[in-house]
Structure 1
């Protein structure tokens, strides 16, 4: 399935690549991280688990990512959110479990808010948030910027930093950071209308596990579970991490039926 050509839809004039596996409900919707794509280890494992269990699975690449069109430098949380909602509404039916990794968890939480606003909360069967990075621009990036970097953002509109995961540097634009402020979710209670399970590595160099614990404070206590993986890193892509993800998916799917 992964080697076939993806489907494509246009969102705000940009072609978004989508891989959708038909199946039963609750379906699974994968939301990847910053600069990741839908063919990563966890996304593939999610698709395989859905196939084994006869469930629908939907993945897409944000604009500027993977097989989608558009320029990465033009991406913002608002733009990637709009694309994710368009894919959700076009390709899925019935209750869905949103599985958000890193920045994808932020997108998932904003999707919850927008679906609730549109009176579509019944479409939410559960949330699995992996190394969640909600509000990462204002909470994790901005606080560590040097004065020189702040000036660069204002004068040239972007900064670059070495990446742990790719030879190309990470790019942060002024538009991304400014837009991030208007998409904050850690500023009040997030009513998800469905169960939430968070998986977080305690050895994560990108997103401190305290960030996940802070997120829990903003979620309804009776609907949220947090699993800390003591030696887990940011990717949580080791065989034991994938096995844990599969077990949590099984529990969430059972609750959503």
Structure 2
């Protein structure tokens, strides 16, 4: 593909039209997994794309259903649904080992992808994980303990709750289906054996995902090959120039390690 990707391609995943942008290049490739209500044209994804162009690596990104340029209704989304779409994009669009870069909820998706790929005998497809402000199990671990009685009642009677968003004029919507499905996709319940190096970047000034959550994730990962970089004044977005530079540095470290093990 050319260095300018104006329009996405689309693949059908169980009836949902999923928008994908893929750039051919050398291995290992990089796969971007965005956060809740984010899209593939954000600052971090665009920074990764520019890096891929400069360094000649393959790069793949997509929008989950109900996000960005993809079809489907946002309110129908669950971790299981978005996981299935992400696996389909990986299998249909990429070849060879990939480094999964997951932001916030995308880190949860990335961890579930590793588990699913190993169960399917495809574990070698993942050469590394770069997790940015990771929010695995956020429905159970971060949201449910803070729900008010009124919100719990809304989940049961209306099937969803609305919450103010600092990142959009529209409120965030969280459905009962998302909470129920989140429990079925928990990863912080035992050892998460990724079989690959993991680098976590976490802001200590993150108002959405406390850095204690990243520390808890590390406890569930094997001690070897796990790096946690805490950014003292980093927020949830991690999109400042210095944050983006750290992201690229961490990625290059994972690429180097993957290349050494080929």
Q: Give the TM-score normalised by structure 1.
A: 0.99
Paired with 1:2 and 1:234, the residues of 2 have a C-alpha distance of 28
- Aligned pairs for 1:108-147 within 5 A: 108-147=110-149
The Cα of 1:2 is off from its aligned counterpart by: 5.7
Paired with 2:213 and 2:166, the residues of 1 have a C-alpha distance of 20
Q: Which residue is equivalent to 2:212?
A: 210
Task: Return 5+ residue gaps in structure 1 as ranges.
Answer: none
- Aligned pairs for 1:118-197 within 5 A: 118-197=120-199
CA contact (8 A) 1:2 1:39 kept: no
Q: Which residue is equivalent to 2:235?
A: 233
The Cα of 1:3 is off from its aligned counterpart by: 4.8
Q: What's the Cα RMSD here?
A: 0.7
Does residue 50 (structure 1) correspond to residue 52 (structure 2)? The answer is yes
Runs of at least 4 residues of structure 1 off by over 2 A? none
The Cα of 1:209 is off from its aligned counterpart by: 0.2
- Aligned pairs for 1:72-111 within 5 A: 72-111=74-113
Paired with 1:110 and 1:78, the residues of 2 have a C-alpha distance of 9
Paired with 2:55 and 2:171, the residues of 1 have a C-alpha distance of 39
Paired with 1:155 and 1:49, the residues of 2 have a C-alpha distance of 47
Q: Deviation per CA, 1:82-133: give whole Å up to 9, x if none.
A: 0000000001111100000000000000000000000111111100000000
Paired with 1:143 and 1:169, the residues of 2 have a C-alpha distance of 20
Q: Deviation per CA, 1:40-72: give whole Å up to 9, x if none.
A: 000000111111111000000000000000000
The Cα of 1:18 is off from its aligned counterpart by: 0.1
Task: Return 5+ residue gaps in structure 2 as ranges.
Answer: none
Paired with 2:126 and 2:41, the residues of 1 have a C-alpha distance of 24
CA contact (8 A) 1:190 1:219 kept: yes
Count of residue pairs brought into register by the alignment: 257
Paired with 1:199 and 1:229, the residues of 2 have a C-alpha distance of 7
Paired residue secondary structure (1:248)? helix
Paired with 2:195 and 2:219, the residues of 1 have a C-alpha distance of 16
Paired with 1:174 and 1:250, the residues of 2 have a C-alpha distance of 39
